[in-house]
Amino acid sequence: MRKIITVSFFVVLLSVVGNYKVSAQQQNQELEQLIQQALDKSNAIKINNLDIEQTQIDRKIAKNTFLPKLTLNGSYTRLNDDITFDNNLTTLLKGTEKLLIKEALGIPFNTALPAGIPTSEIPPLLDKNVLKASLGMEWVLFSGFKVSNAVKATKHKEKAQAHATNTSKTNVVLAVSDAYYKLALVQASKKVLLSSENYLNSQENFVNAAIKNGLAIPIDRQKITLAKQRLEVKKLDIDNKEMLVIELLHQLTNSPIIILEQLKPQLKNSTNVSFSATEKRSEILALEEVILATEYQEKIEKNEFIPKIAAKGHYEFLEDDLSLLDPKWYIGVGMKWSVFDGLNTQNKAKKVAKTKQKYQVQLAEATELIKLNETKATLSLNNANQKITMIQQEVVLATKMYHFVNKQYKNGLTGITDLMDALNDVEISNFNLQNAFYNQQKARLELRQAKGLIY
């Protein structure tokens, strides 16, 4: 017989443990799904991703500095008059032409040119109607290391933005997890109230029977009725809190409310959960990358005095409206060397250096605060674990005391007030236990965040 009882107990125990594991696994899947929905919905993460895309475009812009730039140009200009040689130069050109004609015909130079021999008209330097179409080319050959430093700066900036995105993801995880555990706390509180309601119903039945038999007075029933009314007020308050938490989860995840109402999260004791070693927080990694990015920005400003080399070309498609001095095409290489710019570059480099120093101070401060937060979160978790152990004992003691007072009341050894007080102690201790479970989960999340274990 003992063997049968032992085997039956062992089977029941395995069943309970199995159901607990399945329930815990389902809760983890529920929470992970809610977190993923919140990550997909988060506007902060979307903005961070857009910032990263902008930085990637900035890097492409920097790299494309070395690509030649080609421009097509077209213009029409109307001058007030043709641009021609002055009278003296025109007379000189015409006289020279006549001398050349005389020399070709064998006529003495001091003899007048015979009539009927035409001479050329001197064309204008530029016609008053000017139509141009050209192709221009500019090609940076050496930027004074400006491009390479800009590319490196954008890479570190992108990494910093990626770490900032992880910070936003961490905030989302914390917000959703906290709301999920608050929902568990509210639903656990409803169970506590249901247990109190069952106790009150049982006491009400006993009091009604006792009144009929002259063993109790109507005021006892009135006190139970008042306790039930207070219980209804508490239930209404809990229902409102549940609706508020569900609405919060809906805003965070955009999940339909009808689905969120079906969630049944549970709070449990997690004193045996261990944590891995501390990792660098995303805030620290972001500041480190920002400092590296500012170092390259400082180099960009300091290298402004390095000469820049570029090639330039030009080709005219229309020749008719070119002046006598305009080339049809040209190509060349030029150098730009800023020797003195009024200390502008030096001051810009100093400004960037001050910005880097500011980030370094922020990094040192953030490192100290995170270390302090880790210590604080560790202490909070230890405190929460100790409170759970203490409150569990309070629940056991309050329950035993209630049953003891209940027996005394039924035997006429105490009054209804003592019984209601004992029931109230049971209710409060159970509320405190659920709050302790919630505070433990919250402390665990805060410690994981402090250790950099969330994203």
pLDDT one-digit tens code per residue, 407-443? 998 888 888 889 899 999 999 999 999 999 999 999 9
Residue with tokens 């001197």: 122
CA 296, CA 126: separation in Å to the nearest integer? 51
Domains of the chain as residue ranges with CATH: 24-69+144-303+345-450 (1.20.1600.10)
pLDDT, position 94:
73
Reported confidence tier of residue 8, pLDDT bands at 50, 70, 90: very low
In whole numbers, what is the pLDDT of the chain averaged over residues? 87
Task: Name the strands in the sheet holding 129-142, side by side, starting at the edge strand that comes first in the sequence.
Answer: 69-78, 129-142, 308-316, 329-336
pLDDT, position 24:
57
pLDDT, position 417:
87
| 194 or 119: which leads in pLDDT | 194
Total-model pTM: 0.80
Checking if the pLDDT of 20 tops 50, the result is no
Q: Which of 165, 162, 161, 158 is nearest to 56 (CA)?
A: 158
Return left, alpha or beta for 76; rule: phi > 0 is left, psi -120 to 50 is alpha, else beta.
beta
> What is the tens place of the pLDDT at every residue in 164-182?
999 999 999 999 999 999 9
